Amino acid sequence: MGKFIAGIIIGIVCLAAGAYFYMHYGFLNLAANAPVPAIERFYVRGMVDAWAERNAPKGPVPVQTNDADMIAGVKLYKMNCSVCHGSPENPVASVGRGLYPKAPQFLKHGPTDMSEPMIFQITKHGISRTGMPSWGDILSEQDIWKLTTFLKNMDKLPPAVEAEWKGPTAAPTPSPMPGSPAAGAVQQPPAGQNPDIQHKNQQPQH
């Protein structure tokens, strides 16, 4: 019995040493464009679904499934998510395809089979060891719910929301340059009317 236990301990130590050697000396492929093993795809997908379902918020969805909220969700998606998950203008997002694992392309396989709380959970908190960030510190919960409502229903959008979805993406409004009139720059008076310059040019009186 003692030899059996000693053999198990030696096996565990050898396995740990081998794993350390394999990772420490660069044998583990960390390239983002490396193929994802089938076993990893299978288990990670199940782990993500189980985690999202277990930790998703409980209770009713706090936004309505109406045109206004879904159009707001479309705009949020195009601004923040389409670069990785695709859009009607760019159905296959090259940035998302360059991640490890590759980001799902929602025009091909949308998240409509997930519950809205699960979509909210993943969007708000992100997924570790992937390219999916946490949006909880960037968007408000209300905006994340609007985005969630759009994603849940993106395969059956009402006409007005479909028009917004298929329409061109609005170009972002550029921020004004510091010091420009649009940024509220203070207009300087002409040199001859500048009180500071006039003060410097005044001769002291005796």
Q: Which residues contact 101 (CB under 8 A, 6 or more apart)?
A: 36, 40, 41, 44, 130
| Tens-binned pLDDT, residue by residue, of the chain (206 aa) | 788 888 889 999 998 998 888 888 888 787 888 888 888 877 788 899 999 999 999 999 999 899 999 999 999 999 999 999 999 999 999 999 999 999 999 999 999 999 999 999 999 999 998 999 999 999 999 999 999 999 999 999 999 999 999 998 776 555 455 555 555 554 555 555 655 545 555 555 55
For residue 133, whether the previous peptide bond is cis, meaning omega lies within 30 degrees of 0, is no
Q: What is the 3-state secondary structure (H, E, C) of 153-199?
A: CCCCCCHHHHHHHHCCCCCCCCCCCCCCHHHCCCCCCCHHHCHHHHH
Give the CATH fold of the 64-169 domain.
Cytochrome Bc1 Complex; Chain D, domain 2 (1.10.760)
d(CA 23, CA 162): 48
Residue of 78, 79, 65 lying closest to 112 (CA atoms): 65
Residue of 52, 31, 170, 32 lying closest to 111 (CA atoms): 52
- Would the pTM count as exceeding 0.85? no
d(CA 112, CA 152): 5
- Locate the domains of the chain by residue range: 64-169
